[in-house]
Amino acid sequence: MTVKQRLLWMAIGGGLIFALVCASCAGFFVIAASLGTSDLAVGPAVAIVRVEGVILSGDPPVDPFGTPSGAYSGVVRDHLRQAEQDPNVKAVVLHVNSPGGSVVGSDEIYQQVLAMTKPVVASMGELAASGGYYVSAPADEIFANSGTLTGSIGVISQFINIGGLLEEYGVEVTTIKSGEFKDIGSLFRPMSAEEQAAWQTIIEETYAEFVKIVADGRGLPVEDVKQLADGSIYSGRQAMELGLVDELGDQAAAIQRAAELGDICLLYTSPS
């Protein structure tokens, strides 16, 4: 994937409406590529929970033609809870390859990561931007590749106005509403100054929460985070220099570190 393609995915992850994007040694342990079944091997284990694709809230819809793509918060939370409850799992690697997405979905995943009592190491892939960084922030440690694109800390909301186009073709829209702001963000007219101000308040409130989450997760002053949180994109190496990432390394390095934090020895891993 080229840098331009990754930036395109990051823009999509931002959203069109409202988004962000070994103390003792056991016999062996297995890296679990996925959860949801009882296929974890016996023995101390590091579980891999994946956040891949655009982050969406809730559970995927029933689709007879296959599983919809995206990182659904309900699925990710279930996997994290299973890892938390499984006595064989001693640590978790949260593999994040996401441009971001839903604010609600990102926060639901974040809350579950925050609630984990077992060590969690975030491992960033190609992208861990906006909501992808949001869910990584509470991890005990964050690993990124030097070429990972991350950051993009901020909130964006965009509205399309096709009123001029409809007028050009002689199409009229009649709106009947119960209150002044009921059709805020309508496709058929420009947004008023009052409506923009109301929406800006929501954006700023969500942004402030995002900044606090990063500050708390990384142990950084809020004012320092604000200097970084202007929507800028950082490489993994830049992110480490700025304190947003702990180490440069791939998923294998993150697994090794999770094993250390979970007080288990890496003697065997299954394919991930």
Active site residues: 130, 182
CB proximity list for 155: less than 8 A, separation 6 or greater: 18, 19, 20, 103, 203, 206, 207, 210
**DSSP at 66:** -
- Specify the pLDDT at position 61: 86
CB 121 within 8 A of CB 258: yes
Q: Is the pLDDT of residue 32 over 60?
A: no
96 — pLDDT class (breaks 50, 70, 90): very high
In Å, how far are 147, 159, 201, 233 from 155, measured between CA atoms?
23, 14, 12, 13
pLDDT the model gives residue 31:
41
Mean pLDDT lowest for which of 48-52, 61-65, 120-124, 253-257? 61-65
pLDDT band at 69 (very low <50, low <70, confident <90, very high): confident
Entry pTM: 0.83
- In the DSSP assignment, the letter for residue 156 is B
Q: Give the pLDDT confidence of 235-264 residue by residue, as tens digits.
A: 999 999 999 999 999 999 999 999 999 998
How many Cα atoms occupy the beta-carbon half-sphere of 259 within 13 Å? 24
pLDDT tens by residue, 117-136: 999 999 999 999 999 999 99
Burial class (CB in 10 A: 0-12, 13-18, 19+), 81: middle
